[in-house]
Structure 1
């Protein structure tokens, strides 16, 4: 059964939490568009996020991130995944809260570390002790992530399909008016 989202669904959380893979599957099941805000930033800048960080710094990147989010949120409601730091900026939280359901994909440290430790595409982890940095980021960000409208805890070993089914059920249960059925 197809439906129409009344507002966007925006997935927030740490790098490696599954925002892109779950977001893609969620959008497919809801028959709506999916957008990864980091991909949009890279496309607009014609360079990778790592390159943006190296050339222009994190503050510049965060400004572009806010601009891209504002543009995406003006479009037809769909599923949007954000970078791990997007929700940390009050301006972004206000933009998202005004036009979307924010869902925190809440993942434990060991699961995150397992998913990101081999990836060289995470500029904040390009340090001599990336697990310590990840631990610090998680501790600093979790209280802010908890401000999301909905929290969705990850389950170790769960497939993308199972996690998406569980998330869809949680959305339908807690946000019954979000999807207008046709």
Structure 2
């Protein structure tokens, strides 16, 4: 029997990919989770921005959502193929059938879920950085997105309900689920 904790052994075999709606805390939780698992952390949106030399908002404005999703799919495929890590994805990444299949086949998908009011409060703190919310009421937009996306997110291997608690609670729940 290895002295390495079970969650760390599991994560060492596959990347852990965090999926869920914007504002659920994928990046913040992902950074903390990576420390707990002893794996590197990467945010797919930051990797997309780096590869494109543009912000997510600029990519959407110049090229549209379809082109953004194509680039997102290529970046996530590259990240999963490398050594195991914790990967935070953008809210729409898992909606793409090819990207979702890749994540489900080659990584451990963790759906971080939260109540719409919690998400709306969180995204209001970062106005302008969420292209799908531009010109819309955040609560209404998130409710519309949740109605479409939650049934797809439910395909993830692990489902964690993020509460309005410190993110460490979600990290502990993920570590327990991985074990």
- TM over 0.5, yes or no? yes
2: CA distance between counterparts of 1:163 and 1:97?
A: 21
2: CA distance between counterparts of 1:52 and 1:94?
A: 24
Find the counterpart in structure 1 of residue 61 from structure 2: 54
- Displacement of 1:166 in angstroms is 2.3
Identify which range, 158-167 or 28-37, moves more after superposition.
158-167
Give RMSD over aligned pairs.
1.3
Find the counterpart in structure 1 of residue 97 from structure 2: 90
Q: Given that residues 77 and 102 in structure 2 are in contact (C-alpha distance below 8 angstroms), is that contact kept between their aligned partners in structure 1?
A: yes
Alignment partner for residue 139 of structure 1, among 141, 147, 158? 147
- Displacement of 1:170 in angstroms is 2.0
Question: Tell me, what secondary structure is at the counterpart of 2:23?
Answer: coil
- Richer in helix (by share): 2
1: CA distance between counterparts of 2:19 and 2:174?
A: 13
1:29 aligned onto 2:36? yes
2: CA distance between counterparts of 1:7 and 1:165?
A: 19
Structure 1, residues 133-154: CA drift from partner, whole Å, max 9, x if none? 2210111111111111111111
Question: Tell me, what secondary structure is at the counterpart of 2:17?
Answer: strand
Q: Given that residues 30 and 86 in structure 2 are in contact (C-alpha distance below 8 angstroms), is that contact kept between their aligned partners in structure 1?
A: yes
2: CA distance between counterparts of 1:128 and 1:33?
A: 35
Alignment partner for residue 116 of structure 2, among 109, 128, 147? 109
Find the counterpart in structure 2 of residue 78 from structure 1: 85
